[in-house]
Amino acid sequence: MDRKLIVAIILSMGVLFFYPYVIEWYAPKQAQTETTEATQTPLASSSGETAAGMKDAQSKTPALKAELTTVETPLFKAVFTNIGGGIKSLELKNYFVGEGKDSPSINISEIVGRSDSFKTQIEEGGIVKELVMSPSATGIVVKEGDKTELVYKGTTATGIAIEKRYLITDASYLMETVIRASNPTKDQYTGKAFIQLASNVAGKDATGYHSGPIISAKGKIIRQADDEQQKTGAEKLKWIGLEDKYFLSAVIPAHENGAAWKTTVESVTSAKASVEVPLSLAPGAEQEYKYKTFLGPKEYDLLVKQKNGIEEAIEFGWFDWMAKPFLVVLNFFERYLGNYGVAIIVLTVLIKVIFYPLTKKSLHSMNEMKKMQPQMTALKEKYKGNKEKMNKELMELYKRYNVNPLGGCLPIVLQIPVFIALYEVLYVAIELRHAPFFLWLTDLSAKDPYYITPVLMGATMFIQQKMTPTSVDPTQAKIMLIMPIVFTFMFLNFPSGLVIYWLINNILSIVQQYQVMREPSKA
């Protein structure tokens, strides 16, 4: 085996091993800081209201009595409040804190939707005020195939009528929402309406994935950095939200223009985002603002259907161009096979078939290289005093037998982006969170608890390495035989779904190598 091939393989191994640590270094977790926030502070307006003024307004405002409405659909159970028509809590029926349906459902409001998210506040006279509204119902059950509306109505201190409507369907986490303001008075009205979001996460999580404000504006995705306390904008807003690795709360305007936005990171446990809608009403006039409310999981297929780029909230990393197709294919196979583990196996076979011509050519090249060793050794001995002449004769030898000395490392190099893309899918796609395979493998996104699959992977890699054509250099042969041991330790803490991919890939490679090795050599 050529020394350059050894170097290429070692470098590839290094990339596979250090990738998770590079990600963590590139986006380290923020140090935990204490937060003393006990109540939600109204958003500061763009009119320049001081913090002291806001506190004075709060101290003079009596406690508001909340009137709650429970909404239950096949997907979630939510509690709405009449204070601004916000969402106080939302439990996801199909996602659980731990493995198995005996575990409690995830309350997403404790992550990316706290403090009555999606509530509407009104600014009048430079002061942001809570809006107390009356609900159309105290309890709603949306059965399969149904849809219904939850309507809130209220009046501001200056007499402006505010109506807020949620259209709730049976099979979506999205709710069509409209805020309608009408002026029954005889005076011109100027004010602002705020739609606010708040979350209990910000910065980076333990694995380096972003948490906190995310904005799609001016044709690009903006993830607020750890050291940026505040960001603002006033045009071309596609959507704005708060995220963690698996969940998202978002406001998706019907039109890109017509509202300003603001995001704030206060600490690692407090982030906010808001949309600011200007209100200008002549006597008897009416104005409305349409948007979609989203509070739910980052399901790729669901987000893609919105056709507004909100699927970009799923953070696939550097190889997203490959990770997205992988997830689409895995979801397709899972729909028909009913198991993501089996889907990963089918995807592995598919990838192997695609790379078959290249892998076969590589194995032929390695086989020929091994059988050319006597001639190569003779040339090196003959021209050992003339390196230039030796290299020229070796190249002539390669051309004579149509062998590429670096052909053996190409499949390994090409598998690096495949490996990393699948790594990202298994780590960030909520579809694979707690997805079982069989027996002891109950979560493909987590490591094998008994390390059985990594050991099997190492064993198959050892067999494959013993079958791989190598040079007669004993040092190089020993280095290659150490690799299965190193890879086994590397894979101990990798997602079990990724280990399954590599294990099946090794088994298919062994079969392929056996077939190629039986073919006659040209050398």
How many whole angstroms separate alpha carbon 208 and alpha carbon 508?
33
Query: Which residues, listed in sequence order, are joined to residue 105 by a DSSP beta bridge?
Result: 96
Cβ-contact 367, 516 below 8 angstroms: yes
How many whole angstroms separate alpha carbon 159 and alpha carbon 152?
16
How many whole angstroms separate alpha carbon 78 and alpha carbon 327?
29
Helix (H) or strand (E) holding 288: strand 286-297
Cβ-contact 273, 242 below 8 angstroms: yes
* DSSP three-state, residue 464: helix
How many whole angstroms separate alpha carbon 121 and alpha carbon 42?
8
Neighbours of 161 (CB within 10 A): 15
pLDDT tens across the length of the chain (523 residues): 444 444 455 555 555 555 555 544 544 433 333 333 333 333 333 333 334 444 444 444 456 778 999 999 999 999 999 999 999 999 999 999 888 778 899 999 989 988 789 999 999 888 999 999 999 999 999 999 999 999 999 999 999 999 999 999 999 999 999 999 999 999 999 999 999 999 988 888 776 788 899 999 988 999 998 778 899 998 789 999 999 999 999 999 999 888 999 999 988 888 999 999 999 999 999 999 999 999 999 999 999 998 888 999 999 888 889 999 999 999 999 999 999 999 999 999 998 888 887 777 777 777 677 777 778 778 777 777 777 877 787 787 777 777 766 655 666 677 778 888 888 888 889 998 899 998 899 999 889 999 999 999 999 988 887 776 555 456 666 666 778 888 898 889 888 998 999 899 899 988 887 776 666 554 4
- Residue for token digits 């990171």? 265
Counting beta carbons within 10 angstroms of the beta carbon of residue 185, is it exposed (0 to 12), middle (13 to 18) or buried (19 or more)? middle
How many whole angstroms separate alpha carbon 275 and alpha carbon 255?
13
How many whole angstroms separate alpha carbon 197 and alpha carbon 247?
14
How many whole angstroms separate alpha carbon 516 and alpha carbon 126?
78
Q: By C-alpha distance, which of 219, 246, 231, 220 is closest to 303?
A: 246
How many whole angstroms separate alpha carbon 53 and alpha carbon 41?
12
Neighbours of 66 (CB within 10 A): 14
pLDDT at 45: 39
Neighbours of 33 (CB within 10 A): 11
Residue 57 is which amino acid?
Answer: A
- Residue for token digits 């969402």? 87
DSSP per-residue codes, 242-266: EE-SSEEEEEEESSSSS-EEEEEEE
Cβ-contact 213, 224 below 8 angstroms: yes
Query: Which residues, listed in sequence order, are joined to residue 231 by a DSSP beta bridge?
Result: 263
Neighbours of 147 (CB within 10 A): 15
Provide the token pair at 265. Answer: 């990171």
CA distances (Å), origin 333, targets 325, 340, 368? 12, 8, 39
Q: Where are the alpha helices (DSSP H) in 306-409?
A: 320-337, 340-354, 356-371, 373-382, 387-400
Report the relative pairing of strands 68-72 and 139-141 from DSSP bridges.
parallel
Provide the token pair at 459. Answer: 């064993």
What do you get for the CA distance between the two ends of the chain, in Å?
A: 15
Query: Which residues, listed in sequence order, are joined to residue 410 by a DSSP beta bridge?
Result: none
Residue 25 is which amino acid?
Answer: W
* DSSP three-state, residue 292: strand
pLDDT at 409: 63
Compute and round to an integer the Cα radius of gyration of the chain. Answer: 30
Cβ-contact 245, 106 below 8 angstroms: no
How many whole angstroms separate alpha carbon 296 and alpha carbon 281?
35
Cβ-contact 406, 394 below 8 angstroms: no
Query: Which residues, listed in sequence order, are joined to residue 221 by a DSSP beta bridge?
Result: 216
Q: By C-alpha distance, which of 497, 505, 493 is closest to 19?
A: 493
How many whole angstroms separate alpha carbon 221 and alpha carbon 60?
40
Alpha carbon 5 to its chain's center = 35
Residue 379 is which amino acid?
Answer: L
CB neighbour list of residue 382: distance below 8 Å, 6 or more residues apart = 390, 393
**What are 448-453's contacts with CB under 8 Å, separation 24+?**
448/492, 448/496, 448/499, 451/492, 453/496, 453/499, 453/500, 453/503
pLDDT at 12: 54
